[in-house]
Structure 1
Amino acid sequence: MGDFFRGRRLRRTAALRELVRENVVCAADLIMPYFVVETDEPAFRKEIGAMPGQFQLSLQELEKQVEAAVAKGLRAVILFGIPKVKDYKGSEAYNKDGIVQQAVRLLKKRWPALVVVTDVCLCEYTDHGHCGLVRQGDTSGEVHNDPTLSLLTKAAVSHAEAGADIVAPSDMMDGRVQAIRAGLDANGFSHIPVMSYAVKYASSFYGPFREAAESTPQFGDRKTYQMDPANSREAMREAAADVDEDADFLIVKPAGPYLDIIRQVRDNFDLPVVAYQVSGEYSMIRAAGINGWINEEAVIMESLLGMKRAGCDLIITYFTEELLAKGLVR
């Protein structure tokens, strides 16, 4: 009976399974997103209805939240800002004393070794909710690409001036990596990496995020600049363009439904690949866990392992704090 494969030999005990495990999720792989609000209420802390366990936070509450997470091993964060005032050109995105800029200064002062990534986009700051410039009063849905680039560059430079370690443009405007790289270099920030949302789909999985970031488009949609979910070859063109424009990381967003894209990006490019497990992915797992339909911890870990197996190096996930607090990663 020795004429067939005995794969079970290496699965016999937990120790053996761990010994031959091909992929592991580590604390150093994870980036925790935070939503920071410009508010006159120092203790402002509002749970996001569509994302149980996630919050909009004032600066004071952000500091408390990060303090607890750092104590459990948090290594990196990505910040999204919600300003008091929005306008058609997203002025608060590049205000040197804007909410994200304040948050960066706060976190880097308290924890210099914490890696602070900033989302660079206009959607949280515009009164129309689009990621690029729309002419004032225009409700046609046309987002103007080239005029947006200078505003994104101003935002990225302001984040670097505040102390950000990495800037992450998520807008999907053509040429934004090149523009931001040139702006950073020209202002003495050639050492600051660009983590590009290189492959960002026009996904239905973003719904809860738009509640969290208060960034729902007031007219039209984002399909003229975010990618068609049906396309994969296009993803390679987008990633190649960002590599040519000197991106330092490539993000694929969403993650779970696009594991094939993560694998293609990994196989075609040598840069670090980042999977973004987006709000809808989080909310579905959380809702099923709350209702007792799944073993939530096991499903979280399985979902992240799938991303690592597909080829990503880093994962942006709203489960980061929880995984650290429960000792599920180390």
Structure 2
Amino acid sequence: MSEGSAADFTVKLSNPSATDTQVTLNLITTGTNGNASATDVAGLQYKDSNGSWVNVPANGQVTIAAGQTEVIVRVPTVQDGVYEGKENFTLNATVNGNTVSGQGSIIDDGTGTIPPEQPGTPDNDQPKVASVSSPSVTEGGNLVFDVQLDHSSTTATTVNLNLANGSGIVGTDTNSFKVSFDNGVTYVNVTGGQVSVPAGTTSIKVQVATVNDNIVEGNETITLTAKSEFEPAAGAGQTGTGTILDNDSSTLSVTPALNNVSVSEGSAADFTVKLSNPSATDTQVTLKLITDGATGNASAADVAGLQYKDSTGNWVNVPANGQVTIAAGSNRSHRPCTDRARWGV
């Protein structure tokens, strides 16, 4: 029967007796090798002549009245919230030195039966993932996800862990992938995306190391989905989102290229416009050439415009709005992205 329900046994004489018959009842709960323990049941009862359920006395003796052939005996089971699998127990009944036995089973995987007169639905204590937290950490630190199971188990439970890309890339923005079963005291590497959660454990920590790069990329996310072996393969489990907080910024500098601070009239002056750190996205730079013609300063007539070197290495006129683009830097090589501006005289 389903855990939390009661198992009813009929103890029956083959023939009625002209006198009361004393029956000794003994409930066997060894707690070993798939058998229920004493804590899995809530005592022993029998139905009296009034139809009421009464506790069996400590000596286990009940009476089948003269002329009657049977007594109904009930074994209430305990709903404990722990997945134990099928657990058996035995009811022995002894009359005049002769003993007969009946066996019952406690089921807590959702397939147990509930007698019609008893309320409730079949109990299912199989561990499933109840929640996955959504942590955040500054890049270079460890994201620690808390994964919670809804039930403990008397045996190990397999949990599948799946890291997936969000705006961040697993394996590029992350590094090691580990799990702890002792509240973060020790961690072991996750291999193949599966971990075996020890018996009695309902909470695990999943640690994902993040990469401290020098790319300006903004905050990035990855996801962790966890589901137990008792959940359907498709559409099940719980997901948490980890946020990697960017700690990079970039400043802009303008320096003369090739040390040509001063150039001969008719030549071109080259400048390097440079970001201190690359960016994960294109960076828009607005260029403005100051030629006010004041004392010692060139006038607009002294220069022939403003150019920049494009990605193919060609000199191209800067648009009228002065905007040029420094392309997104590679987050693999981490090479600085530069743009070179030229003005001719």
TM range (shorter): under 0.3
Computing the radius of gyration over CA atoms, which structure comes out larger, 1 or 2? 2
Asked which structure has the greater RCO (Cα within 8 Å, sep 6+), the reply is 1
Q: In proportion to residue count, which structure has more helix?
A: 1
Q: TM-score, normalised to structure 1's length?
A: 0.18
Q: In proportion to residue count, which structure has more strand?
A: 2
